[in-house]
Amino acid sequence: MQILRYAIYRFGTMLLTLLLVSVLVFFIINLPPGDFLSNQIAELRATGQEAGVAKAEFLRREYALDKPLWQQYFIWMGMLPGPHGFSGMLQGNFGWSFEFDRPVSEIVGDSLWLTVLVNLAAVLFVYMVALPLGVLAAAKSRTMIDYTAAFIGYLGLATPNFLLALILFYYGHQYLDLPIGGLMAPEFEGEPMSWDKVKSILIHLIVPTFVIGTSGASAMMQRLRANMLDELGKPYVETAVAKGMRPSRMLAKYPLRVAFNPFVADIGNLLPAMVSGSVLVSVVLGLQTIGPVLLQALKSQDMFLSGFVLMFVALLTLIGTMISDVLLVLLDPRIRYEGRDS
């Protein structure tokens, strides 16, 4: 019950933080002088295309870009009525992309879910690789197993992701017949979900997951190893051995449980690091994720599009930290009972 209460409380603070973040995001996307439309108008005027100017002026009014900045913010958020009444983020209207001349929701629609999918797969990969390797390296510290694991880990950390991507594509295609680039075969793009499409996506996911996940996995493996080594020196481990436990079971039950805390606490950091870290990889691998879209939008000052993408990344981060906080409370009674009388 306590946990439910905490989760609700934590959700509340998350929403508050998100509100603050929205102010920051709006401020940041408005930092460069001018906006997409005023730039466009200036350009049109310079080239003498007066007809286009009228359309741009119309769009400016349409999206309240002629209003003071603070009003723009509230209209964007949907907290003040704009030219079309209450129609902003809160109402689910993410605005218009001037660059692509389409609503933002249409542009990001698919790539949003693909982003979540790719990153989720990468996070799973990180945990599935780092957990056993980290524990093994700690339990067999200062042996060949430890050194080998460390070597592979550092190799993963040190290799540039895009290089790894190219190498894997080449060999993956040559020996395993893995597809190159994209997140699904071209014929499925824009098609409704089907079993074949899912299969195609899964096969296409293999290389990106590996590429995005390796550095995270090796960093986490090293952290887990260090934590485990710390814990292995503690007296409660000795107590467990003196009870007559098998080493494998003892490791899993006692030190791993304790060393797991920072592991869980990392979820919050992992998500945003992967989203922003995967931008370059997405460009190189030709993944239809949100990364390349963000890059393009920032370059051309497409403010509603970039604003939305930034908000989305922030939301992922906040959800990540919330999940890790709630999990920590579940995992660690010391946090759970803080303040309870002993």
Partner 1 sequence: MRPLLSVEDLSIGFGKDTPVVRNVNFAVNPGETLALVGESGSGKTISCRAVLRILPRTARLHSGRMILSGSDGDLDLARISERQMRRDVRGNRIAMIFQEPMRSLSPLHRIGNQVVEVIHLHRSTSEADAKREVLECFERVGFPDPERTWRSYPFELSGGMRQRAMIAMAMVAKPDLLIADEPTTALDVTTQAQVLGLMKELQQETGMAMILVTHDLGVVANMAEQVVVMHKGRVMEAGPAEPILRAPAHPYTQHLFNAAPKIPEAICPLRDGTEDLILEMRNVTKTFTMRSGKSWSKPTLVRACENVDLTLPRGKTLAIVGESGSGKTTAARIALGAETVDPGGEILFRNAPGAAPLKVHDMDRARRGLFQKQAQMVFQDPYSSLSPRQRILDTLAEPLEIHGIGNRAEHKARAAEMLRLVGLPVDMLTRFPHAFSGGQRQRLSIARALMLDPKLLVCDEPTSALDVSVQEQILTLLEDIRDARQLSYLFISHDLAVVARIADEVAVMRRGLIVEQAPPEVLFHDPKHPYTKALIAAQPVPDVDRPINLKLVAQGAGAPESWPEAFRFVGQDAPPLMPLDPGHKVRCHV
Give residues in contact with partner 1 (CB under 8 A): 234-236, 238-246, 253-254, 257-258, 331-334, 337-340, 342
Give the SS3 label for residue 342. Answer: coil
Q: How far apart are CA 311 and CA 108, in angstroms?
A: 13
Q: How far apart are CA 312 and CA 290, in angstroms?
A: 10
Q: Taking the complex as a whole, how short is the minimal distance between the CB of residue 269 and partner 1, in angstroms?
A: 22
Q: Taking the complex as a whole, how short is the minimal distance between the CB of residue 334 and partner 1, in angstroms?
A: 6
Based on CB atoms, which residue is closest to partner 1, 186 or 247?
Answer: 247
Cβ neighbours around 146 below 10 Å, total: 18
Based on CB atoms, which residue is closest to partner 1, 166 or 229?
Answer: 229
Based on CB atoms, which residue is closest to partner 1, 94 or 260?
Answer: 260
Based on CB atoms, which residue is closest to partner 1, 51 or 242?
Answer: 242
Based on CB atoms, which residue is closest to partner 1, 71 or 143?
Answer: 143
Query: Length of the chain in residues, anyone?
Result: 342
Q: Taking the complex as a whole, how short is the minimal distance between the CB of residue 15 and partner 1, in angstroms?
A: 18
Q: Identify whether the C-beta of residue 41 lies closer than 8 Å to the C-beta of residue 53.
A: yes
Q: Taking the complex as a whole, how short is the minimal distance between the CB of residue 217 and partner 1, in angstroms?
A: 25
DSSP code for 67: S
Q: How far apart are CA 234 and CA 192, in angstroms?
A: 55
Q: Taking the complex as a whole, how short is the minimal distance between the CB of residue 123 and partner 1, in angstroms?
A: 24
Q: How far apart are CA 305 and CA 298, in angstroms?
A: 8
Sequence letter at residue 36: F
Q: Taking the complex as a whole, how short is the minimal distance between the CB of residue 259 and partner 1, in angstroms?
A: 11
Based on CB atoms, which residue is closest to partner 1, 84 or 253?
Answer: 253
Reference 252, options 341, 131, 111; nearest CA is 131
Side-chain-facing half-sphere of 195: CA atoms under 13 Å: 0
Based on CB atoms, which residue is closest to partner 1, 190 or 339?
Answer: 339
Structure tokens at 114: 């693909």
Structure tokens at 153: 């880990």
Reference 282, options 293, 273, 272, 271; nearest CA is 293
Q: Taking the complex as a whole, how short is the minimal distance between the CB of residue 138 and partner 1, in angstroms?
A: 13
Based on CB atoms, which residue is closest to partner 1, 280 or 327?
Answer: 327
Q: How far apart are CA 251 and CA 140, in angstroms?
A: 12
Q: Taking the complex as a whole, how short is the minimal distance between the CB of residue 141 and partner 1, in angstroms?
A: 9
Q: How far apart are CA 179 and CA 193, in angstroms?
A: 19
